[in-house]
Structure 1
Amino acid sequence: MAKDGGLDWDGLLKWSLANSDGTQQARQLSDEDRRWFMEAMQAQTVDVVRRMKEISLVMSTPDDVLQSQGVTPDDIYNMLDELHEHVESIDMANDLHSVGGLVPLLGYLRSPHANLRAKAADVVSTIVQNNPKSQQLVMEANGLDPLLTNFNSDSSIASRTKALGAISSLIQHNKPGINAFRLANGYASLKDALSSDDVRFQRKALNLIKYLLHENSADCSIVTELGIPRQMVHLASSADSDVREAALGGLLELAKDKKSGTLADEEKLKSVLQSRIDGISEMSEDQLEAAREERQLVDSLWKECYNEPSSLREKGLVVLPGEETFKQPPDVAGKFFEPALRAWSTPKQDGRNVSESAGEKKDTPPPLLLGPGPSDGSSA
C-alpha cells in the first residue's frame, strides 16, 4: 500500500470510493480491509498531546545543546508556530502546563532573537484569551513580568506589539492581572505606546485603555493626570480609521466620568470632532457604511461633552436608512398557500365569488391552510 515508505493516498482514495459509492448499502469489511484502513488512518493521525510533550521537551533543552544538534532559530520558530496551532483548542491550551510546556514557552519571551520573542508572546496570547485557568497559570508562573519588559523596552516594535497583545489577553476579565498591571505602572507604558509611529501598536494600546476605563472608571483620574486624553484627542484625527475609532471610544469612556470634567472644556476636542463631522458628511455611501462605528462614536461623544446632538444626527448620518430596520426572514411556505388565499380574497360580484360567475353554483369556503381545500359540491 505504500510508495517509497509513505502512505499510498491514491490507493486509499480508490478504496474509499469503491466501498462507499452511495448506491448500495455499506458492505461488511473483511478483517484484512479493516486492518489496512486503520493502519492507513493511524499513520496520518497526530497525537496532539504526545506532540506537545515533544515540543515541550525541545523548549526545555538548553540553547547550546540545541545548537550542537543543528537546531536553528528558524526551526524553533516553526516549532512554536506548530504549537500555536495546537493551543487554539482551549483544552490543549490548558494541557500545555501539565505536559511541562508552559514555563519553557515563557522562557522564550527572553530569547535573544526578536522573532522568537514575538512568536512566544503570540502563543501566550492565544493560550490565555478568554481562558481563566490558563490566565491563572501564567500569572502564577510570573509570565506577566517578561511581557511587561518586552512591551516597555524591546528593540523590536513587532515584539512590543505582540507583548502588548498578550498582556491584553492576560488581564482581561482577570482582576489580579489588572491590579498587577496597574501596580507595574502600566498606564505610563500605554502613554508611551501612544507616542509610537506604529498604528498597530497605537491601536492595541488605545483598545486596552478603553477596556480598562470601562471596567474601572476610577482610573479616569490616573489617565487624566498622565495627559493621555490629549494624546487621544490627537489620535482621533489619525489617518487610520481603526486608530480613530479606538481613540474616540476611549475619549467617550472618559467623558462619561463626570468627575474628570476636562473634555468638555477642551477646544481642541471640539475642533477635532467638528473636523470628523465635516469629513463624514462628505463620505460616499460605501465609506459611510464602513464608518458606521465612527459616526456613532462622534455623535455620542459630542452629546456627552456638549449636551446636544451633533449635526450628524440632523443630517441623518448617525443611523442610515435600513441600518436599524428589522428584516423579516424569507417567506418559504407562503408560496404554497398563495393561490388558495388569493382566490379567497378575490372581490365578489353580487355577493358571489368571481369564480361562481364563471359557472360555479356556490361560494367556495375559505381554504384550510393545513390541508387541501375542499372540492366544489363534494365532501372529503
Structure 2
Amino acid sequence: MRTLIFLSVLTATAVASSLRTLCLNPELDGTFTNKLFNGTWYEIGKYQTKGGAFFQQGCMCDLTQVTLEDPVVGNGTVTYTCRMDSLDGDEVSATARLIYDGTPGHFLQDYSYPFSPALNYNVVYLDEDSAIEYDCGKLLYDNNYCVHFMSRQPTMAPEKLQALKDLVDTMGLNTDGLEYKATVQEGCCHGTFNQQYIANFVNIARPLVTMSDNGGNQDPRRLRNMQGLLNFCTEITAREDTTGPTQLSGMDPERRAFLEEALSGMTMNVAKLLAEAVQKLLSEAVTMPEEDITEQEEAIQQIEEHVDDLNHAMDFYKMGGFPALLRCLNSPHASLRVGAAGLIGDICQNNLVCQESMLSLKAIPPLLEMMDTDTDKQARIKSLYAISCLIRDFPKGEESFLKADGLSYLMRSMQSGIEKLIVKSTFLLNNLVRNNESYIDTVLSMGYIEQLAIILGNEDTDNISREHCTAAVYGLASSYPQALQEALRPELGLPQLLRSRLSTISGKEEFQEEENHIQDLLNLFQQGDDDDEHR
C-alpha cells in the first residue's frame, strides 16, 4: 500500500474542531492529474451532513464516474449513481459539471439546478487505488459538506481505510464530528459489471495474443484465435489451482460456458441486437392480453443492458425505438409497462436529445396517467421515475409537465400509501419548488403542507416515508415564510405530531436522520412562534 502523504490545509486545523459546518479550503500536495482521477470509483463510505445530496439518502451500491477531458488539468463531469433502499432498488443518477478553478484537484461542482448552488469540490488525496474527495457549499441557510472515501474496487483493506480516516482527521475536514457511514457494496450488481469484466479480460488477453503472433514463439498452442485464447486461459487456470485437475478437459463446465459467453460478447453487434429488440416490441403480442410475451420481456432486458452507454442510447433513438416504448406503456401486460417506463427514464436521464424526442412524442400524459391509475404498483413507481428523468434539467419538459397538471398528479401520488411513490413524489415536488420559487404559492394552495401532515399523522405510514416527509416540511418551512406559517396552522397539529413521534424514536440509531429533522423543525416552529409574539 502506498504511503499516505499528509496534506496541508489553508484554513488552520487548530480551530476547525471548534467550528461547525465550516467550509474549508484543503490543498492537494501536487500529486493530482486528471488522468489519475478519471474513471470509475466505488464509494466505500463517507462523512456527510444531513443537508448533503438529498437523492443519496437511502442509497447503496454508490458509484462515481469521473470524466475529465484533458489528461492533466481542465474541465469535465462527475456522475453519481446508486441503488435506492435495496440492492435491486431503482437506480438513481445525477451528473454535475466539474469546472477547473486553476489549482490541480480543485473544481467548482455545478449541477445547474437553480436551487442547488455550486459546491467547492476538492480531491484531497489520490493514488492509483483510492481517493478522498471533499465538497462543501451552502444549501438553504447552512453550509453542508461531504467527505467521500473512494476505491477502484468495491472493497478497501481496513488498514488503508483507517489511514485515510486518520488523514481526514489530521486535515480537520470533519468539522462537525460526524459519524462515519459505510456504503453497502457487497452483493451489488452494477450495470457495467459484465462489460467491465469483459473489458478487463480483453486487456489481459490482447498482449498475450500479440506476443504469440509476433514473438516468434513456435509453441503449437499459439493463440491464433479466441478459441485458442480460451484453451490458453483454461490451462493457466489449471496450473494455478494446485488442488484441481491439470487437464484442459477438467475445467468446470459452468465456468467454461461463462468464458465462452464472455468471449462471444466481445464481438456482439449491439446495433443489430437493438434493432431486433425494437421489432419484437412492435409485435402484436404487446397489445394482446393472452399472448406469450417472453420474447418481448427478453427484448426489454437486452435494451436495458446497453442503453446506459450514450452511443447505444442514441442508436436506439435513431432506429425508432421510442415509439415502440410508448406503445408498451399501453400494453395489458404489466411487465412490459414497467420495463418500458424504466427504459424511458434510463435513456432520457441527462440526455437532452432524447428528452426532446420523448416530449415531441407526447410521452408525459400517458406516464402521468400510468402513475395515477395503473393497477400494478411497480408500474406506478417506474412511471414516476420516467417523468422525473424526462423533465429534470429540461425547462420544456417541466413546462409540459405543468400544463398537464403534473403537480396534481404528484399530490395524488403522495396519497397512494405506496412507500416509494410517496418518497419519490415528495422528492420531485420539493425539487420543482426549489428550482422555481414561483411554484411555492401554487403548491401551498393545493394543500401540500397539509398533505404532508396527514401522512405524518397516519399510523400506517412507513418509517422511510416519515423521514422524507419530515425533511420536506423542514426544507420548505426553513426557506419560505409562507410555508412556515402554513405548517404552524393549529388545525394541522404538526408540533404535537412531531413531539409524539420524537418520544417514540428518540435515541434509536436507525431513526437518527428523522430525529434530527424533527428537532430542527421543532426549533424552527419555536422561532416562528417567538417571532409572532414580538410582532
Helix, strand or coil for the counterpart of 2:481?
Answer: coil
Deviation at 1:116, TM superposition (A): 0.9
Equivalence for 2:495: 270
Structure of higher RCO (CA pairs closer than 8 Å, 6+ residues apart): 2
Equivalence for 2:445: 225
2:489 alignment partner AA: D
| Of 29, 36, 55, the match for 2:277 | 55
C-alpha spacing 1:33/1:100, structure 2 compared with 1 (3 Å)? farther
Tell me the distance in 2 between the aligned counterparts of 1:91 and 1:300: 46
Equivalence for 2:368: 148
Tell me the distance in 1 between the aligned counterparts of 2:400 and 2:334: 25
C-alpha spacing 1:269/1:73, structure 2 compared with 1 (3 Å)? same
Residues 213 and 250 in structure 1, CA contact (< 8 A), matched pair in contact too: no
C-alpha spacing 1:213/1:302, structure 2 compared with 1 (3 Å)? farther
Equivalence for 2:226: 37
C-alpha spacing 1:56/1:179, structure 2 compared with 1 (3 Å)? same
Deviation at 1:93, TM superposition (A): 1.9
Helix, strand or coil for the counterpart of 1:236?
Answer: helix
1:36 alignment partner AA: N
Equivalence for 2:21: none
Tell me the distance in 1 between the aligned counterparts of 2:522 and 2:361: 45
C-alpha spacing 1:271/1:108, structure 2 compared with 1 (3 Å)? same
**Corresponding position: 1:173 with 2:398:** no
| Of 268, 293, 297, the match for 1:77 | 297
Residues 372 and 409 in structure 2, CA contact (< 8 A), matched pair in contact too: yes
C-alpha spacing 1:263/1:141, structure 2 compared with 1 (3 Å)? same
Tell me the distance in 2 between the aligned counterparts of 1:226 and 1:28: 79
1:271-321: per-residue Cα shift (whole Å, max 9, x none)?
Answer: 1221232233242xxx2xx43432332233223333189xxxxxxxxxxxx
Helix, strand or coil for the counterpart of 1:72?
Answer: coil
2:360 alignment partner AA: E
1:263 alignment partner AA: A
Tell me the distance in 1 between the aligned counterparts of 2:515 and 2:321: 46
Deviation at 1:28, TM superposition (A): 4.5
Deviation at 1:29, TM superposition (A): 6.3
Equivalence for 2:482: 259
Residues 109 and 117 in structure 1, CA contact (< 8 A), matched pair in contact too: yes
Tell me the distance in 2 between the aligned counterparts of 1:27 and 1:178: 61
Equivalence for 2:506: 281
Helix, strand or coil for the counterpart of 2:487?
Answer: coil
Helix, strand or coil for the counterpart of 1:76?
Answer: helix
Which has the larger displacement, 229-238 or 196-205?
A: 229-238
Give the TM-score of the pair, scaled to structure 1: 0.65
Residues 97 and 103 in structure 1, CA contact (< 8 A), matched pair in contact too: no
Equivalence for 2:514: 294
Deviation at 1:164, TM superposition (A): 1.2
Q: State the identity as a percent.
A: 23
C-alpha spacing 1:38/1:163, structure 2 compared with 1 (3 Å)? same
Deviation at 1:48, TM superposition (A): 1.6
C-alpha spacing 1:205/1:43, structure 2 compared with 1 (3 Å)? closer
2:272 alignment partner AA: R
Tell me the distance in 2 between the aligned counterparts of 1:72 and 1:156: 19
Tell me the distance in 2 between the aligned counterparts of 1:234 and 1:51: 49
Residues 345 and 385 in structure 2, CA contact (< 8 A), matched pair in contact too: yes
2:365 alignment partner AA: D
**1:1-380 equivalent positions in 2, closer than 5 A:** 27-28=215-216, 33-37=222-226, 43-45=264-266, 46-63=268-285, 72-236=292-456, 239-255=461-477, 256-260=479-483, 261-266=485-490, 268-283=493-508, 287=509, 290-307=510-527
Number of aligned residue pairs = 284
Residues 281 and 299 in structure 2, CA contact (< 8 A), matched pair in contact too: no
Tell me the distance in 2 between the aligned counterparts of 1:94 and 1:293: 40
Could you tell me which runs of 5 or more consecutive residues in structure 2 were left unpaired when the two chains were aligned. 1-200, 231-259, 530-535
C-alpha spacing 1:43/1:160, structure 2 compared with 1 (3 Å)? closer
Deviation at 1:52, TM superposition (A): 0.9
Deviation at 1:33, TM superposition (A): 4.2
Which has the larger displacement, 55-64 or 34-43?
A: 34-43
Residues 213 and 253 in structure 1, CA contact (< 8 A), matched pair in contact too: no
Residues 56 and 101 in structure 1, CA contact (< 8 A), matched pair in contact too: yes
Deviation at 1:251, TM superposition (A): 1.2
Helix, strand or coil for the counterpart of 1:138?
Answer: helix
1:53 alignment partner AA: A
Residues 367 and 383 in structure 2, CA contact (< 8 A), matched pair in contact too: yes
C-alpha spacing 1:128/1:214, structure 2 compared with 1 (3 Å)? same
Helix, strand or coil for the counterpart of 1:291?
Answer: helix
Residues 285 and 292 in structure 2, CA contact (< 8 A), matched pair in contact too: no
Tell me the distance in 2 between the aligned counterparts of 1:197 and 1:239: 7
* CA radius of gyration, larger in: 1
Tell me the distance in 2 between the aligned counterparts of 1:150 and 1:216: 26
Give the TM-score of the pair, scaled to structure 2: 0.48
Helix, strand or coil for the counterpart of 2:489?
Answer: coil
1:208-246: per-residue Cα shift (whole Å, max 9, x none)?
Answer: 122112212322222222222122113235652321122
**Which structure is higher in strand share?**
2
1:336-371: per-residue Cα shift (whole Å, max 9, x none)?
Answer: xxxxxxxxxxxxxxxxxxxxxxxxxxxxxxxxxxxx
C-alpha spacing 1:174/1:149, structure 2 compared with 1 (3 Å)? same
Equivalence for 2:138: none
